[in-house]
Amino acid sequence: MDNVLLKDGEKYGGQYVATKSFKDKKVVSHGSDPSKVFNEAKEKGIKAPVVFYVPKKGMVQIY
C-alpha cells in the first residue's frame, strides 16, 4: 500500500496542495491560502479535493 500523499513534495514545501483524491494524487492546485487552493480545485471540476499542508524540508512539526 502506498501511503505517500505526494511523491514530489519538496517542490511544494511551505504550501497548501490540493489533489483530486486520496487515490489520485495529481496536484490540481497549490498556494499559501488553503481556501483559495480548495476553491481553485473546485473551479477545475474536482468534486471533493483533498487539501493538505506540505511542510518545508527539515521543518520540525509538533502535534
Residue 47 covered by a domain: yes
Given a cut of 60, is residue 61 above it in pLDDT? yes
Question: Bigger pLDDT: 35 or 62?
Answer: 35
pLDDT of residue 16: 95
Residue 1 covered by a domain: no
Is residue 31 a contact partner of residue 16, using CB atoms and an 8 Å limit?
yes
Residue 63 covered by a domain: no
How many domains is the chain built from?
Answer: 1
Given a cut of 70, is residue 3 above it in pLDDT? no
Residue 24 covered by a domain: yes
Determine the Cα–Cα distance for residues 48 and 59; give it in Å rounded to an integer. 28
Mean pLDDT value across the chain: 86
Span 16-27, pLDDT tens digits = 999 999 888 899
pLDDT of residue 1: 43
Query: What is the reported pTM?
Result: 0.80
The whole domain housing 18 covers 13-54
